[in-house]
Amino acid sequence: GAGVSQTPSNKVTEKGKYVELRCDPISGHTALYWYRQSLGQGPEFLIYFQGTGAADDSGLPNDRFFAVRPEGSVSTLKIQRTERGDSAVYLCASQDSMNTEAFFGQGTRLTVV
Amino acid sequence: QKEVEQNSGPLSVPEGAIASLNCTYSDRVSQSFFWYRQYSGKSPELIMSIYSNGDKEDGRFTAQLNKASQYVSLLIRDSQPSDSATYLCAVRGGGYQKVTFGTGTKLQVIP
């Protein structure tokens, strides 16, 4: 596609449930990032993929969060046993080489009730 | 100390004035620097990137980088009400390093 696509755009889930958020990067982009953004804050780094492997997962807040990118393209962010504090906008960005800019998708707004 | 620091604002400037947005970063080996604009309820949009010391101009926007001082800034000339948004500074280290964002500065351009 022309840009980074994230689905769903909105997700409401009950506390304790499992959710998956999908990111489809710009075709050919090798780098993919997941960020989380709360109201009034900047994007908070979660995980960064180069190809299929996680180059840096130091931002994942705890073991309830996991992300995969099995074929080096689409990525899925998985959150187990969701908590109300997980409510935020989850942003995905992709990048085509080490030193070029990252482009963002429109985000998934996750609300845990 | 936060890795990327910005004044949260709001920064208010009159229409037609120059808006100056500042950012400092802690990692001396950082190599790539970006400014993103984010409108309320939207995702960040890249407006400028800079990789070497000095100034880089693009239309009404000028990015300035001083690696010795670990400082990067964005100047917006002839500010317009449509420039009202949150401006995010982002920094990347060398090699395969993550991009880290500041908390953003909210800019208000008063007509």
Taking alpha carbons only, the member of A26, A27, A12, A31 closest to residue A82 is: A12
Taking alpha carbons only, the member of A103, A112, A109 closest to residue A24 is: A103
A60-101: pLDDT as tens digits? 999 999 999 999 999 999 999 999 999 999 999 998 876 578
Contacts of A105 in chain B (CB under 8 A): 43
Q: Is residue B9's pLDDT more than 80? A: yes
State how far the alpha carbon of B97 is from the alpha carbons of A49, B27, B29, in Å: 10, 11, 11
Looking at chain B from residue 62 to 101, which residues have their Cβ under 8 Å from any Cβ of chain A? 88, 90, 92, 95-101
d(CA A41, CA A55): 24
pLDDT band at B1 (very low <50, low <70, confident <90, very high): low
A10-51: pLDDT as tens digits? 999 999 999 999 999 999 899 999 999 999 899 999 999 999
